[in-house]
């Protein structure tokens, strides 16, 4: 078993749920559409949702240079990036033992602002492909003005841990006799029928890569 | 229009997406199954997913007294609670203009540890009912040991803002002529078929309140 990379990434609450293997961490980062970024602003914590994308050992974030989040990154402040996939509700007979089934990753790091134009363009590509695989080659490339108007931050995936819960709820032994339903309500993010832009050019049909859109899924016994 | 309650809850990036009306904020808090709580630990931000529940003007969180999150709350540290509902992917012809459709709330506050036994029990009830409405009256009540083993924190909903994006993507005028698909891929959290606990007592069937489980939804034109 891979050990935790640092004291603060060590899962202490229910340590049996802690996972430190990079393939598990990567799969969760890749499946999650968005992350929540925590940073400190004027001494207080701020948490903002944003999209992310992984490329090898690097997690990319992007945004407006004026955003508080990216301004904090320009100051070399540390951030915490958390992604959470909710896989179900594990309903125990006792609320105390009820739980969520989930897969989450907590990543600490000091972002590096990406200045190299080639790496920046590659980050745009992986951010687009993270949300909609296949889209990059079927979209209008960013122009110079757009590239300047977007800040990209890179965080090395070195200090991360995952926490995973799967399976049925666990009750106190004496509660299994109670005439109460218990079990798991599986939950997933699912896509509806794509809604074409009202200004869609005539004759343009839904591209193959968007048909049956779904987030990649780890095999897991929810 | 309701003004922002503070400088830091004022939505600056795309201010037209900022909403400060409590009914909008409350509906987002109620629909979201989980939140992400940000706090400062040893000078660095930490973001942890957890369930929450609203009761009137109060947001309740709970957890183990030993968790870093609840220990930070015991120190009267400020926290930031963020909930995010992802409603779709708004795919523009240019990746620069692509966006998510979402409804999010950012809430700042200094949690109060709930010591009053009556309020604590009521918090347990609303936390259970937040996840699965109808469950509280159909479950085994927390015992003294369980009540002692759970810390409840209350945050007043006074400094909060919502950010909402709906509708189709918006491209640069000259890009509408491109032969590229654009539009919205709607996304939602959906429930699968409930999986009974392998140790379910014989003869116990799925209760009515769990049939067709779904999160409440704001009417919104994704």
ipTM: 0.95
Q: Give DSSP secondary structure letters for B122-159.
A: HHHHHHHHHHSTT-GGGSPPP-HHHHHT-EEEEEETTE
Tokens read off for B45:
């931000």
Mean pLDDT of B38-59: 96
pLDDT above 80 for A173: yes
Mean pLDDT of B171-196: 97
Using an 8 Å CB-CB cutoff, list chain A residues near B37.
Answer: 47
Using an 8 Å CB-CB cutoff, list chain A residues near B187.
Answer: 33, 189-192
Which one of A14, A36, A191 makes the best mutation probe of the B interface by having the most chain B beta carbons within 10 Å? A36
Q: Is B143 among the domain residues?
A: yes
Q: Which chain B residue is nearest to residue A108, measuring alpha carbons?
A: B46
Q: What is the pLDDT of residue B69?
A: 87
Q: What is the pLDDT of residue A217?
A: 56
The sign of the torsion formed by the CA atoms of B42, B47, B49, B55 equals positive
Inter-chain CB proximity B38 and A38 less than 8 Å:
yes
Q: Is B172 among the domain residues?
A: no
User: DSSP assignment, residue A95?
Assistant: G
Residue-number span of the structural domain to which A158 is assigned: 15-88+98-167+188-210
CA dist., res. B31 & res. A80, Å (int): 25
Q: Is B7 among the domain residues?
A: no
**CATH number of the domain that residue B129 is part of:** 2.30.110.10
pTM of the predicted model, to two decimals? Answer: 0.95
Inter-chain CB proximity B204 and A138 less than 8 Å:
no
Tokens read off for B104:
């999010």
Q: Is A149 among the domain residues?
A: yes
Inter-chain CB proximity A189 and B193 less than 8 Å:
no
Using an 8 Å CB-CB cutoff, list chain B residues near A211.
Answer: none
* B106 φ/ψ angles, rounded to the nearest 5 degrees: -120, 125
- pLDDT (tens digit, 9 = 90+) per residue, A127-160? 999 999 999 999 999 999 999 999 999 999 999 9
- How many structural domains are present in chain B? 1
Q: Is A83 among the domain residues?
A: yes
Q: Is B193 among the domain residues?
A: no
Q: Is B92 among the domain residues?
A: no
Using an 8 Å CB-CB cutoff, list chain B residues near A39.
Answer: 45
- Model confidence band, residue A74 (pLDDT cutoffs 50, 70, 90): confident
Tokens read off for A90:
């594990």
Q: Is B154 among the domain residues?
A: yes
Q: B218 and B31 in contact (C-beta within 8 Å)?
A: yes
Task: Give A1→chain B minimum CA distance, Å.
Answer: 24
Per DSSP, helices labelled H in chain B are: 22-31, 68-74, 117-131, 144-148
Task: Give B218→chain A minimum CA distance, Å.
Answer: 16
Q: What is the pLDDT of residue B217?
A: 56
Query: What angle is formed at CA B95 by the lines to CA B93 and CA B101, rounded to 5 degrees?
Result: 90
Inter-chain CB proximity B182 and A190 less than 8 Å:
no
């Amino acid at each position: 078993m891979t050990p935790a990379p640092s004291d603060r990434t060590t899962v202490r609450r229910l340590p049996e749920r802690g996972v430190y293997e990079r393939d598990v961490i990567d799969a969760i980062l890749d499946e999650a559409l968005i992350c929540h970024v925590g940073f400190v602003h004027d001494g207080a914590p701020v948490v903002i949702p944003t999209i992310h994308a992984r490329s090898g050992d690097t997690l990319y974030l992007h945004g407006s240079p004026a955003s508080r989040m990216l301004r904090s990154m320009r100051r070399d402040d540390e951030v915490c990036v958390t992604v959470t996939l909710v896989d179900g509700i594990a309903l125990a007979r006792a609320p105390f033992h009820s739980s969520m089934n989930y897969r989450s990753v907590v990543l600490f790091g000091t972002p590096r602002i990406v200045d190299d134009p080639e790496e920046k363009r590659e980050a745009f590509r992986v951010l687009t492909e993270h949300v909609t695989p296949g889209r990059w080659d079927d979209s209008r490339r960013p122009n110079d003005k757009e590239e300047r108007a977007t800040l990209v931050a890179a965080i090395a995936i070195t200090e991360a841990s995952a926490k995973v819960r799967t399976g049925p709820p666990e009750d106190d032994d004496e509660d299994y006799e109670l005439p109460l339903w218990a079990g798991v309500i599986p939950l997933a993010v699912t896509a509806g029928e794509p809604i074409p832009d009202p200004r869609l050019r005539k004759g343009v049909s839904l591209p193959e890569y968007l048909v049956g859109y779904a987030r990649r899924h780890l095999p897991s016994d929810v």
